[in-house]
Amino acid sequence: EDQVTQSPEALRLQEGESSSLNCSYTVSGLRGLFWYRQDPGKGPEFLFTLYSAGEEKEKERLKATLTKKESFLHITAPKPEDSATYLCALSYNTDKLIFGTGTRLQVFP
Amino acid sequence: SQTIHQWPATLVQPVGSPLSLECTVEGTSNPNLYWYRQAAGRGLQLLFYSVGIGQISSEVPQNLSASRPQDRQFILSSKKLLLSDSGFYLCAWSVRPSGGYTFGSGTRLTVV
């Protein structure tokens, strides 16, 4: 059973068209939920960590939120340079992170 | 500041040849270290992790092995590569208790 599910798998947006990416999880005892950005051929780059339901974090055009069963990455007025794959990961009872398969975002001018 | 080095960036190896990928971390002590593999269009699969020198945990039975000869050095090896070993290999570190990982730049391995 998948513990971390990301949707949609791919998202195409026009520049300036705001949207949200979803990360849902089924584990209990969440210790942390992480968002990463990955550009083609590169390692993932850390964006946010969320630890408890109701927590929100922002960075430029990105805002991450967390509930008891899912997290959203909101992208406001995206630009072409926001195009990347966004990965969600969580830790719950070990030091290991469990990753979702990612959402591939393309922003067109 | 902490940095992580991973090399080589790309590697093309024939089937049956050995493999050695190296990862080193600077600016931190006693980190947790991880090897992940990412197949094309798929998520990150944890291969090995280590919480200390000589301590290796394997997540997936396979043709690969890992070693940690020094506190900040993590090595991924194979005696004989298979075609299915092709992929993008990523090294990462974290500090305890569990926190976000910092990833290296990755190695693109193609087995031919």
Average pLDDT over residues A15-23: 98
- HSE-CB for B40 with a 13 A CA cutoff: 6
Q: Which residues of B touch A99 (CB under 8 A)?
A: 43-44
User: What's residue B77's pLDDT?
Assistant: 96
* pLDDT of res. A2: 66
Strands A103-108 and A10-14, bridge-based pairing: parallel
* B104–A49 C-beta distance less than 8 A: no
Q: What's the mean pLDDT in A60-81?
A: 96
Q: In chain B, which residues have their Cβ closer than 8 Å to the Cβ of A89?
A: 44, 101
Distance (Å) from the C-alpha of residue A2 to the closest C-alpha of chain B? 12
A2, A37, A95, best to mutate vs chain B, most B CBs in 10 Å: A95
CA distance B15 to chain A (A): 23
* Partner residue facing B32 (CB), from A46, A95, A100: A95
Q: Is B7 on the interface with A (CB under 8 A)?
A: no
CB distance B88 to B107 below 8 Å: yes
Nearest to B91, CA basis, from B70, B76, B111, B110: B76
Best mean pLDDT range from A67-81, B25-39, B48-62: A67-81
Q: What is the pLDDT of residues A44-53, one digit of tens each?
A: 999 999 999 9
Distance separating alpha carbons of residues B75 and B77, to the nearest angstrom: 6
Residue A91 pLDDT exceeds 90: no
Token pair recorded at residue B73: 């050095």
Percent of all residues in chain A with a pLDDT value above 90, rounded to a whole number: 81
End-to-end CA distance of chain B: 38
What's the mean per-residue pLDDT of chain A?
A: 93
Touching B: A residues 17-56, CB under 8 Å? 31-32, 34, 36, 41-46, 49
Examine the pLDDT at B17 and tell me if it is beyond 90.
Answer: yes
How far apart are the C-alpha atoms of B46 and B36, rounded to whole Å? 5
Q: Is B61 on the interface with A (CB under 8 A)?
A: no
The DSSP result for A87-99, as a single string, is: EEEEESSSSPPEE
Contacts with B44 from chain A: Cβ below 8 Å: 44, 87, 89, 99
Q: Residue B98 gets which letter from DSSP?
A: P
**What's the mean pLDDT in A38-59?**
94
